[in-house]
Structure 1
Amino acid sequence: MSEIGQKIKTVFGQAAVYKNPNNNEVFIGRNLPSFVKDYLLATHIDLDGSLRREALVEFLDKHIPVNHNAIRARLMQGEVLTLLTRFEVSTNLAGNKTQFQIPEMGIKNNDTLIPQHIVDEYSNDLIDGEKWGIIKLVYIPPMDNSRGYVEMAKFKPFRPLEKLDLDSFREGRKHFSVDEWIDVLLSAMEYTPEAFANKTQKLEFLARLLPFIEPRLNFIELAPKGTGKSYVFGNLSKFVWLIGGGKVSRAKLFYDKSRKTPGIMLHHDLVALDEIQSISFTDNMEMRSILKNYLEYGKTNVDNYEFMSECGLILLGNIPLSEDGFPLSDKYLDELPEAFKESALIDRFQGFIEGWLLPRVTTDMALRDWTLNVEFFSEVLHQLRTAPEYSNIVNQLVSVPNGSDMRHVKAVRRTATAYLKLLFPHITKKEDLDIDEFYTYCLKPAIHRRDIIRQQCANIDRESSFAKPMPAFTLRY
């Protein structure tokens, strides 16, 4: 156990969990995100960090079976199953009922029903979209002219933290220096801080958390393969949806006109479009128009439906590098799909992550120590999104000259706010903030990330205002 691991365990108590890569062997064959694994480990690990392996295996075999293909047969044979699983809820307006599907188990919408009394009891949880929960399933055989179907007989939301004490988390942050807290955050992402060569690498890696913690913060990250992009956005939070390549439609993201249901961006904090080079849109012009409105205002119109959300968007892609590890061209966005090759659209992204500065992930980077429970950590990021104190501090501190480009100003202020939440969550009043630290860790990197977006827009549209430098942001001491 490291010194920082011991400190995390002491300060955060039950919100800490011991990570041992060897423990992951028990999950082989079960594709579970980290926030689920951490819940299971936390409930089966003793205070000394030792795993009650047999008890955990018994729980997994009972509630998260490896053989998904046998689930339907077991249900038809009359077995009642209680599963901890991901499922998708949808409202069937024509049939006046609520249904669900579990694609991994071959259970489809048309074969299911959620009874109305369960929908009424959990009305805030069983809205359309992806869910995690403990569900009891029973098969109802066909009777007379009706079809057989799978009924959700019981439901319990996957919510290990019934209530999060944000003030307690903020108080815990006070026990750590800035450098220590950077290491705490890296370990919460399940990486060993010592595996990073320097602070630049650490802070670039942590930049991935900025869209988690600030509403509608839109970023682009281009990085070589193997730097952990997909893992971070696909495993750390149930509030983030990762789309890994393929066709993406307006119906899936925003609004399905045929079903009259909103898309995934309504119910999540962040949507990550991974392998962006391989993503295509069913209608480039329609998607470009919708995205420009949404990224600017947080709302867009689809026919007569006004879609509104605070969900952020991040584009994740690969970029070819030279032998010295830097991009072959200063036109970073050449690899993006055609729909994104427009300066007016790219200008609506607040920041850029230089993924080529990051190390390639190796087995040595896997954490073996005490750290924050991922479910706890993701809930903290989620709740800090709506905490207003931080943007108030930034607005009080940051000054810009008259005539500054409004998108630059909004982008820098919002990114600096995200940094303040991430690195200094315990600071809720301007008077308590170290101004030099704020400039170094919040304002300066926010300006840099936005400036990269400006430069890339200038590469696309050279005869424009993008050629002008960033506004001269200053601090009010």
Structure 2
Amino acid sequence: MTDNNKETEIRSHDLDDLLTTEFKGRVVRKDLTKQLKEGANVPVYVLEYLLGMYCSAAEDELIQEGLKNVKKILTENYVRPDEAEKAKSLIREKGTHKVIDKVTVKLNQKKDVYEASLSNIGIKDAVVPNKIVKENEKLLTGGIWCIITVSYFYEEGQKVSPFSILNLKPIQMPSMNMVEVYGARCNFTTEQWMDVLLRSVGMEPANLETRTKWHLIARMIPFVENNYNVCELGPRGTGKSHVYKECSPNSLLVSGGQTTVANLFYNMSSRQIGLVGMWDVVAFDEVAGIRFKDKDGIQIMKDYMASGSFSRGRDSIEAKASMVFVGNIDHSVETLVKTSHLLAPFPPEMIDSAYFDRFHAYIPGWEIPKMRPEFFTDRFGLITDYLAEYMREMRKTTFSDAIDKYFKLGNNLNQRDVIGVRRTTSGLLKLLYPHAEYDKEAIRECLTYALECRRRVKEQLKKIGGMEFFDVNFSYIDNETHEEFFVGVPEQGGSDLIPKGVPKPGVVHFVTDGALGKLGVFRLETQMTAGNGKHSTSGFGSDTAAKEQVRVGFEYFKGNLSRIAANTKFSEHEFHLHFVDLQNSGNSHTASLASLVACCSILLNKPIQESMVVLGSMTLGGVVNPVQDLASTMQVALEAGATKVLLPMASASDIPSVPGETFTKFQVSFYSDPVDAVYKALGVS
């Protein structure tokens, strides 16, 4: 065993000891859950409650003894639905019998008694004493799993059911003592507490990188924040839906995609609220398959995600459920960043900037490794139901104002950005510092992560919605030092489409619309060989319109060369122009001016200026066409790494449309005609 592994082992044992001391009866060894789950179709939180009662000691002998007890209880008392009649018969014959089942209680006002429904046995009207209901109010709100002693007494003419509940012990947490959590949390470091949370959902933090841990913790924010909207897209097999399916009785994973407004929001005929009113978290698995049968489904979802309320008929209905969207990315992230956007897996009818703007965060699923056995823990963690109740209690408070004591948010954040960043920061603080004892650096760490997650949403909005979302340079300002810190997103990386340094002669970058209808960055690479003054092209395929543009530039080059370099002859050379589509935008149909500059550059053996893009196009007669949508074009050039722009004078009137933050990043050279453009591009006065 290496020194690192030994150190990890020691730390793990220390954390196990601390957990079993601070949360006695509230912890369980997670590998035991897995063993039992394979043999009994009982919810995880039921198994873990039993394991917490009998197997929370650290010694192996005591654990094995506890396991025997749990298995015995499950064998004797857990009723499978297909054995319901046998269980009822047993209760009748014995008079009383203990069972494990989910119990829901309703008041029968006609008889003035509380009646219990036992889901697996199928008893609908077992009489429950008032005292039991008062002590366990959750029985009235959706029901809880319990160990129940059921008795049977039949008398001719009686008006109530012969079944009654003598006593009841909740298997889910009947109530939550948050003071216990706050007090215990004080004895853990932040790193230890993060490990506790991860182990409690079955992960092994010792084998995970720090950044991966943050992403896994971020998956839990919807459990502690009301009306929190988050998406996570990434490769298959990274456990995106695990936490929403297995780790809380308060969340629902919607699989299969198709849903209705009645099911999700409100049923007009029965006047009952849908899933968003019954669960803390509604998670959609496989976003690519989401379909609403109703035409107004997406609009209602938009309203709900923005405000936590929606209108049906005359009613405005409020709910607290957080919305989670998980799905798969089939292409590499590098490809999507360059060619499309990172929300592409959503169905076409949902790809709408107004809808995505409601997302508070985007977790980068591609940074989480595929789940392997070593990522699952065999150490102690909080029992699932205890963790779920702790998270549910944290929904009642907010830490969104914690930022203000130490930091201000930068001016690139609009109101929705601010809400998203505050919600994410609040959620992380609730998970990591439930006792509200956090310092400046703790807030800074959570704030930086929150800014990154919201900026990832904004970067995609910019690609979908254009200049409306140009302000993506998110930052925060330290109240004490007034220093501004900018937060980026790793997958955007350095803008290297236009590499730094002086290019080779004949290499020209330009930005314009592609044949697919979107702006893109293109490159022309030119070769010159001995010949007789002809030109050829490659990279355009069979697109004659694109090739015609190169011909326009080349013909102008031939006819006006004497104005550019009187002593140079093109007729002794042959020119080959190769076209490169850097962002999969389709062939350019406005490459005329760039072709002229490229031919002059290679003939004169002079490179164009460093990090420059050529904007604008020309006719065969030398008329310069202005740039269409100058603001978006300059934004694309900026993201591609350009620092200099060659711009036609005809576009000067459009400069007010370009945000100041974008325009001031460039050194702009104006040109009045094509020959002037060549001089400015080559830096010739």
Q: Could you tell me the TM-score, scaled by structure 1's length?
A: 0.82
Is residue 54 of structure 1 aligned with residue 105 of structure 2? no
In the TM superposition, residue 356 of structure 1 has moved relative to its aligned partner by 1.0
Residue among 59, 68, 78 paired with 2:81: 68
- Structure 2 CA distance, aligned partners of 1:117 and 1:329? 66
- Structure 2 CA distance, aligned partners of 1:241 and 1:194? 29
- Structure 1 CA distance, aligned partners of 2:253 and 2:23? 31
- Structure 1 CA distance, aligned partners of 2:166 and 2:358? 44
In the TM superposition, residue 8 of structure 1 has moved relative to its aligned partner by 4.4
Tell me what 1:451 maps to: 455
The AA in structure 1 aligned to 2:433 is: F
- Which sits farther off after the overlay, 360-369 or 343-352? 360-369
- Structure 2 CA distance, aligned partners of 1:249 and 1:122? 37
Tell me what 1:426 maps to: 435
- Structure 1 CA distance, aligned partners of 2:357 and 2:340? 17
Is residue 84 of structure 1 aligned with residue 100 of structure 2? yes
In the TM superposition, residue 124 of structure 1 has moved relative to its aligned partner by 4.6
- Which sits farther off after the overlay, 317-326 or 407-416? 317-326
The AA in structure 2 aligned to 1:4 is: S
Q: Which residues in structure 2 correspond to 1:50-449 (within 5 Å)?
A: 50-51=63-64, 52-65=66-79, 67-72=80-85, 74-75=87-88, 83-86=99-102, 112-113=124-125, 124-126=137-139, 129=142, 131-134=144-147, 156=168, 158=170, 160-196=172-208, 198-283=209-294, 285-322=295-332, 330-388=340-398, 390-400=399-409, 404-428=413-437, 433=439, 435-439=440-444, 441-449=445-453
In the TM superposition, residue 183 of structure 1 has moved relative to its aligned partner by 2.0
Is residue 461 of structure 1 aligned with residue 473 of structure 2? no
- Structure 1 CA distance, aligned partners of 2:139 and 2:449? 40
Deviations 1:275-321 (CA, angstroms, capped at 9, x unpaired): 222332221x3221221221111111222333212211101111114
The AA in structure 2 aligned to 1:3 is: R
Q: Which runs of 5+ in 2 are unaligned?
A: 1-8, 481-685
Higher relative contact order (CA 8 A, sep 6+): 1
SS class of match (2:202): coil
The change in CA–CA distance for 1:446 and 1:287 in structure 2 (over 3 A counts) is: same
Task: Judge conservation of contact 2:144–2:171 (CA < 8 Å) in 1.
Answer: no
In the TM superposition, residue 412 of structure 1 has moved relative to its aligned partner by 0.5
- Structure 1 CA distance, aligned partners of 2:184 and 2:136? 34
Q: Which runs of 5+ in 1 are unaligned?
A: none
The AA in structure 1 aligned to 2:215 is: E
- Structure 2 CA distance, aligned partners of 1:83 and 1:106? 9
Deviations 1:95-125 (CA, angstroms, capped at 9, x unpaired): x99999888x595xxx945769779758953
- Structure 2 CA distance, aligned partners of 1:46 and 1:351? 37
Deviations 1:118-151 (CA, angstroms, capped at 9, x unpaired): 797589535565754456779999x99x9xx997
SS class of match (1:190): coil
Deviations 1:158-181 (CA, angstroms, capped at 9, x unpaired): 465444343342333333333333
In the TM superposition, residue 70 of structure 1 has moved relative to its aligned partner by 2.6
- Structure 2 CA distance, aligned partners of 1:112 and 1:89? 9
In the TM superposition, residue 436 of structure 1 has moved relative to its aligned partner by 2.9
SS class of match (1:473): strand
SS class of match (1:353): strand
Residue among 17, 23, 26 paired with 1:9: 17
The AA in structure 2 aligned to 1:298 is: G
- Structure 2 CA distance, aligned partners of 1:89 and 1:300? 30
SS class of match (2:40): coil
Name the larger-Rg structure. 2
Residue among 43, 66, 87 paired with 2:53: 43
SS class of match (2:286): strand
Task: Judge conservation of contact 1:245–1:276 (CA < 8 Å) in 2.
Answer: no
- Structure 1 CA distance, aligned partners of 2:86 and 2:335? 53
The AA in structure 2 aligned to 1:333 is: L
The change in CA–CA distance for 1:170 and 1:324 in structure 2 (over 3 A counts) is: same
Q: Could you tell me the TM-score, scaled by structure 2's length?
A: 0.59
SS class of match (2:256): strand
The AA in structure 1 aligned to 2:423 is: R
- Structure 1 CA distance, aligned partners of 2:465 and 2:117? 46
- Structure 1 CA distance, aligned partners of 2:334 and 2:472? 28
The AA in structure 1 aligned to 2:15 is: K
SS class of match (2:226): coil
Task: Judge conservation of contact 1:300–1:307 (CA < 8 Å) in 2.
Answer: yes
The AA in structure 1 aligned to 2:138 is: D
In the TM superposition, residue 328 of structure 1 has moved relative to its aligned partner by 8.7
The change in CA–CA distance for 1:23 and 1:160 in structure 2 (over 3 A counts) is: closer
SS class of match (2:254): strand
SS class of match (1:307): strand
**Structural RMSD (CA):** 3.9
- Structure 1 CA distance, aligned partners of 2:300 and 2:185? 40
**Corresponding residue pairs, total:** 460
In the TM superposition, residue 443 of structure 1 has moved relative to its aligned partner by 0.7
- Which sits farther off after the overlay, 353-362 or 44-53? 44-53
- Structure 2 CA distance, aligned partners of 1:309 and 1:266? 5
The change in CA–CA distance for 1:2 and 1:81 in structure 2 (over 3 A counts) is: farther
In the TM superposition, residue 257 of structure 1 has moved relative to its aligned partner by 2.0
Q: Which residues in structure 2 correspond to 1:12-27 (within 5 Å)?
A: 12-14=22-24, 16-21=26-31, 24-27=34-37
The AA in structure 2 aligned to 1:468 is: D
SS class of match (2:187): coil
- Structure 2 CA distance, aligned partners of 1:254 and 1:100? 28
The change in CA–CA distance for 1:77 and 1:43 in structure 2 (over 3 A counts) is: closer
The AA in structure 2 aligned to 1:269 is: D
- Structure 1 CA distance, aligned partners of 2:329 and 2:396? 34
The AA in structure 1 aligned to 2:421 is: V
- Structure 1 CA distance, aligned partners of 2:422 and 2:462? 21
SS class of match (2:288): strand
The change in CA–CA distance for 1:61 and 1:336 in structure 2 (over 3 A counts) is: same
In the TM superposition, residue 355 of structure 1 has moved relative to its aligned partner by 0.9
In the TM superposition, residue 208 of structure 1 has moved relative to its aligned partner by 0.5
- Structure 2 CA distance, aligned partners of 1:305 and 1:98? 32
The change in CA–CA distance for 1:426 and 1:151 in structure 2 (over 3 A counts) is: same
- Which sits farther off after the overlay, 407-416 or 81-90? 81-90
Task: Judge conservation of contact 2:360–2:454 (CA < 8 Å) in 1.
Answer: yes
- Structure 2 CA distance, aligned partners of 1:252 and 1:471? 38
Task: Judge conservation of contact 1:114–1:152 (CA < 8 Å) in 2.
Answer: yes
Task: Judge conservation of contact 1:90–1:128 (CA < 8 Å) in 2.
Answer: no
Share of identical aligned residues, percent?
22
- Structure 2 CA distance, aligned partners of 1:204 and 1:413? 17
Deviations 1:20-58 (CA, angstroms, capped at 9, x unpaired): 525533332433343222101112216225132332122
